[in-house]
Every structure is written in structure tokens, then in C-alpha cells.
Amino acid sequence: MSFKVSVPPIKSQGIKTKLIPWIRSVIPSDFKGAWVESFMGTGAVAFNVAPCRAVLCDTNPHLVNFYSAIARGEITPEVVNAYLVKEGASLLEKGEDHYYFIRDRFNAEHSPLDFLFVNRSGFNGMIRFNRKGGFNIPFCRKPSRFAQAYVTKITNQVAWVAKTIKAKDFSFKCQSFEETISQAAKDDIIYCDPPYIDRHVDYYNGWDADHEKSLFESLSDFQGKFILSTWHHNDYRENEYIKSLWSNFSILTREHFYHIGGKKKNRNPMVEALVTNFTVSSKEIEVTRPVQFALFEER
């Protein structure tokens, strides 16, 4: 049987929707602790894994604020629908000037709904901030972006996330990966999807070799189980940190095609890696089963 993957309301490049069945397949069947993510991102993995308990963290406060507002009931499908219908009509009437008005308002007031708007109408689904913390992605140049079908799709995505959060014990925290990992218990599973070192990926407060080494040290000291997503190699080069840091752990690989960056030259197949500190049975690993997408995956 195939696993139906649902897509969250927040978009980002490098989203793991197509890899979720593979990630789910390596989770031990006797796992009963909390699912802990130190790089929550869009939340796609956690919401599809849907564990009984999850602690979802990120240093990007806007991601955390958006999903926290859903958890508190401040953002509902009805609220999202009304907001996008209103702002979508203004976008159609005023064009990109309205996008930049909302972007400026978001950078000044940090409204979670404005974050959703700029995320879904910015260029190429990118999330990027300047050094002052301002969202700086340009307009996607589609004034008719929020047609009713698109608004309905986003509303349904919010409804799915809200239903998942309500049925489970999910909490959201804005904090560093070091703090998140240090707070995890030995019965928990930590899933890490950090920015891919040396790749074309932006992160809220940067990612370099020092961050990669610090993540390696934190996970190496963790007494429970962890799963790390990273890249292994592509047609041009290898991820040097696989050998220099992660080689003593179990490494699973599979080819995946990413749409990274605004230029076609940056959109190439890449061999993805899952690094774990536990052994995964070959019988458990998802290899060939088809993936179905609910609410449609989008780039």
C-alpha cells in the first residue's frame, strides 16, 4: 500500500514531501517517545509522521509563530480563507505594489497571516531573510495568484494541520538546535533536517562548517536515537562532511531531484542521505512503493 503524503500550508525549497515515506520507514516500530525536530521548517515531516507527541523547534520565529497560532486556534481555516480572499483581491487589483505593501507590513509587524501571504506569493517558494531579519524575496509576478481554487487549497492545508495538532500533543519552540537536542530524552527520536552544507539553501541565521560540526557533536552526545537528513553527492561533487564527520554512523542513500534556487542550473538530481545512530533493517526501508500526494505538492 502507498502512503498518502499531505502538503503543509508553508512552502520552502528543499521540502521533504517526496522523501517522507522513506523517512517514516526507518523509524523503529517500538518508538514511544517524543518526535523532536530541531529544524522544523515547514513541518512537513512531523505532520505526516503524526506521532503522539512532538516537539517542533526552529530558530526562525515566523515559522514557529505561524504554527503556534494554529495550535492556539487563532489561525483557523475560516480566518485564512477570509484573509486570502481579501488580500488576493487587492493583489489582483494593485499588482506587485500590494505584494510589497504586505511584505513591508510583515517585516514591521510580523503577522503570521502576512507571513503566509508573502510565502505563497513570493518568487519560487523561497524563504529568505536579510541580515536585519527582513523577508526579502521578490514578487512571483502573478497578480492572479490567489484565485479561489488556490485559496481553497491553502485553506484545506491549514485545516489538515489544525486537525493533526488538535489530535496530538504537539508543542512549538523558537530555539537553537543545541538547546533542542540537550532537552530531548533518551526515549525520544530527534529528526534533524538542517540546511544542506555547501548547497544553495538559505537559512534564517546562516549555516556553515562550524554549525555542521556543532550539530555533529550535539547528536554524537545524545543518548537516544536520531535521524539526520543531508546530501551525499551529486554529479559534480561529494558532501565532504559525510566522510569527515558522519561516516561512523549508519548512512542510507537514494537519488532525489531538488528544485533549488531560481536558476535551472541549480535544479539537478542529488543523492540524498539519511544518517542514523541505529541499525535499520533492509526489510523496513521504503524503496519502491509509490507516493500519493494529498492537497497536491507544489513548487
Residues 197-225 have pLDDT tens digits of: 876 556 677 789 999 999 999 999 999 99
| Cell reading at 248 | 561512523
- How does residue 296 score in pLDDT terms, banded at 50, 70 and 90? very low
> For the chain, percent helix, then strand, then coil, each to nearest 5?
40, 20, 40
Which residues share a beta bridge with 274? Answer: 229, 252
For the chain, list the domains and their CATH numbers.
3-59+175-294 (3.40.50.150), 77-158 (1.10.1020.10)
Q: Dump pLDDT digits (tens) for 167-205.
A: 999 999 999 999 999 999 999 999 999 998 876 556 677
* pLDDT cut 70: percent of the chain above it: 87
Which residues share a beta bridge with 291? Answer: 3
| Cell reading at 77 | 481555516
Tell me the pLDDT of the chain averaged across its residues.
Answer: 90
Q: Please state, in angstroms and rounded to a whole number, the distance separating the CA atoms of residues 296 and 293.
A: 5
Q: What is the mean pLDDT of residues 220-244?
A: 94
Closest residue by Cα to residue 191 from 29, 15, 23: 23
- How does residue 14 score in pLDDT terms, banded at 50, 70 and 90? confident
- How does residue 288 score in pLDDT terms, banded at 50, 70 and 90? very low
| Cell reading at 6 | 499531505
Phi and psi of 212, rounded to 5°? -60, -40
